[in-house]
Amino acid sequence: MIGAAATLTANWITARSQQKVETSKQSAANTEVRRSACAEYLATLYALQDNMREVIRICRNVREEQQVEDSYQEYLTTWKALHEKCAPVVLAGPAALADLANDARQKIAEPAGAVDDVYSAFKRGAQKLHTDKYFIAARGAEEAVNKFATAAMDGLNPRS
């Protein structure tokens, strides 16, 4: 009877230890999925910011049709990728990080709209391109992107 109790206790302790190890492995895997999704989304946010600046620069300074078209198409490609990269962050959570990811996506839409306006004006042959709206909106978008980046780093890189 005592031997059976000892065996049951040992089996219970072993099973419990294995469960803790599996839970720890799953938690580490979830963190890695979140980290990867956040890194890809953040890289896309940064690329979109760069692409938007480039479209504005080329429309204002270069004004060569093919360069404008090339930079605008690259911007559109990155814009599409942004939405594809945001979804995994939102789904992986946590909720606070998902909210910041959505906020960054919404805020970056403001300067993106201004880029579209400048591009349209360029295509119509406007001599003066009004870029003030872009520069004002870009500051707000940058703040939202930085908030997301900070939250992602803080949430996914625990301090030792």
Residue-number span of the structural domain to which 145 is assigned: 34-156
The answer to the question of residue 42 being in a domain is yes
- Rounded distance between C-alpha atoms, residue 145 and residue 13, angstroms: 47
The Cβ of residue 119 has, within 10 Å, a number of other Cβ atoms equal to: 21
Q: Is residue 112 one of the residues assigned to a domain?
A: yes
CATH number at residue 135: 1.20.120.230
Confidence at residue 158, expressed as pLDDT on a 0 to 100 scale: 60
28 domain-assigned: no
Is residue 29 in a domain? no
| pTM given for the model | 0.81
Q: Show the 3-state SS of the chain.
A: CHHHHHHHHHHHHHHHHHHHHHHHHHHHHHHHHHHHHHHHHHHHHHHHHHHHHHHHHHHHHHCCHHHHHHHHHHHHHHHHHHHHHHHHHHHHCCHHHHHHHHHHHHHHHHHHHHHHHHHHHHHHCCCCCCCHHHHHHHHHHHHHHHHHHHHHHHHHCCCC
Please compute Rg for the chain using Cα positions.
Answer: 24
Question: Running along the chain, 160 residues long, what does each successive block of 10 average in pLDDT?
Answer: 64 60 58 90 98 96 92 98 95 91 97 97 92 96 96 73
Q: Give me the pLDDT at residue 31, please.
A: 78
Considering its fold, how many domains does the chain have in total?
A: 1
**Contact assessment for residue 102 and residue 90, using Cβ atoms and an 8 Å cutoff:** yes
What pLDDT shows up at residue 10?
61
User: Is 24 within the bounds of a domain?
Assistant: no
* pLDDT of amino acid 154: 85
Residue 12, pLDDT score: 57
Would 102 be classed as within a structural domain?
yes
To which residue do tokens 């896309």 refer? 44
Tell me whether residue 116 is in a domain. yes
pLDDT at residue 53, as a whole number: 97
Any domain includes 69: yes
